[in-house]
Amino acid sequence: MAVLSLLFSGAIFGFFYAWVCSTLWGLDAADPNVAIAAMQAMNASVRNFVFAPAFFGTPFVLIATLVAWRGGERQAALLFGTGGVVYLVGGLTLTMMVNVPMNEALALVETPLDAARAQEVWQGYSIPWQRWNTIRAVVSGVSLLLAGLGFLKCTCAPLPVH
């Protein structure tokens, strides 16, 4: 379970991190009508069986790793459990309360818009969306760090010795 916690935490951190360092910056450089349509398509396509386990499952896999507590792995369990709660609040819940409503509002925008209106709509979406996504990336990075530390503390997942 410790390996799965590390894998899920890394996957979701990588997802949010990619948005921070490339995706939105690329869309910001594009024509606003193109950016709006592209973001609408990405938001619609992200609801899939590849994304869902990491997005929805990460906090529960981390919290389930608390089973290590039964084996006397209190420090490891506390790290995994804390990572799960951190991601649950600052990743999953934040997304559902902030980013998803923003995405749903953007989905209602019909393009093409005149250039000035498209720029206004895109800036009104992109700037706050990126701010909140950066928070999600930092939070999921902290969750990954906690999972990594938990993994290192956990003797239930020893590294092979040759």
Q: In this predicted model, what pLDDT tens digit does every residue of 73-95 receive, in sequence order?
A: 889 999 999 999 999 999 999 99
Low-confidence ranges of the chain (pLDDT < 70): 68-71, 155-162
| Distances from the Cα of 155 to the Cα of 15, 31, 103, 108, 158, angstroms | 29, 53, 42, 51, 5
- In the chain, the number of structural domains is 1
The whole-number pLDDT of residue 69 equals 67
Tell whether 158 is covered by a domain.
no
**Distance, CA of 28 to CA of 129 (rounded, Å):** 12
Q: In this predicted model, what pLDDT tens digit does every residue of 111-129 receive, in sequence order?
A: 999 999 999 999 999 999 9
Within 8 A by CB and 6+ apart from 61, the residues are: 1, 4, 5, 8, 84
What residue numbers bound the domain in which 47 lies?
2-153
Burial class (CB in 10 A: 0-12, 13-18, 19+), 47: exposed
Residue 35, helix vs strand vs coil: helix
pTM of the model: 0.91
